[in-house]
Amino acid sequence: MRMRSLFLSRRYTLLTIVILLLLFALILMSLRVKQKGGVEGLDAFLIELYSPFQKGATSIFNEIKGLLYGYLFLVELEKENRILKQKIARLERENQEMKALASSSERLRKLLQFRDSFSMKMVAAEVIGRDPTSWFKSLTLNKGEKDGVQRGMAVLSPEGVVGQILKTGPYHSIVLLITDYNSAVDGMVERTRAKALVKGTGENRCYLKYLLRSEEVNVGDRVITSGLTGNFPKGLAIGEITKIEKESHGVFQYAELIPKVDFTKLEEVLIVTETFTPPPEKGKTMKKTK
């Protein structure tokens, strides 16, 4: 009961204050209407009374305005940042494409220069596939019988010997790399003119078969084609000797070499479409056939 009385007392007190404030406002309004001398004492009083509230309201409004502008600025900045990132990605992509085009143009320039340095007929081909198995070391080319490509033809690059055509189709062919077990190319050591057969090891290596033990060869010697067969012209780079083993007995010695051509990066090659007869004896001329 006591609590109820206290609640009613507070309720009536609050109501009384509200009524008094309303009456005070009405009195001020009536005095304002009756006043005829412009803004003087009462207006000055009202200005002083409401100025702090206006100042606070203005400050709050400016804070809200600043926050709103800041938010809109961040939204616009994020949008511009996203657009700039897209432009950077596009420019990087175009830059990579231009680099790839420049690299391709440089490779083709070297290929054409290499072809023009020989008088024999050649067909340029693009590497379009590689043997995924470990059975053969081979590449697939985009030129075939329709382009005059035949089995056994030599395949070259500006760096040196690539291999020989193994199989042909109307529009494609397969080249057996010189690193394959089944590959064999007549070669010789450029410095000493020692003759040997260049055989593949199945890895990224070759070795000189039938290299006489009496021949002087050193690590670093360059091995080139001998021209003793009709498919490879004489003097083409094959590789460089990296290892030599001489047994205490036997007729031959073992020499290992690394091919001059990096087959993992090969993209274009030249196919020699002419075959040559072996070098003639002194006083005779050499004939070439298609």
Give the residue extent of every domain in the chain: 50-117, 122-279
Q: What is the pLDDT along the chain (290 residues), one digit of tens a residue?
A: 554 454 445 555 656 765 666 666 556 555 555 554 444 555 555 555 556 655 666 667 667 766 777 777 777 777 888 888 888 888 788 777 777 666 666 666 766 776 666 777 889 899 999 887 666 689 999 999 999 999 999 999 989 999 999 999 999 999 999 999 999 999 999 999 999 999 999 888 999 999 999 999 999 999 999 988 778 888 999 999 999 998 777 899 999 999 999 998 888 899 998 766 555 544 444 444 44
The Cα 197–Cα 185 span in angstroms is 6
The Cα 207–Cα 184 span in angstroms is 10
The Cα 242–Cα 247 span in angstroms is 17
The CATH class of the 122-279 domain is: mainly beta
Give the containing element (helix H, strand E) for 65: helix 41-116
Give the containing element (helix H, strand E) for 140: strand 138-141
* Residue 63, both tokens: 């804070």
Per-residue pLDDT, 7: 44
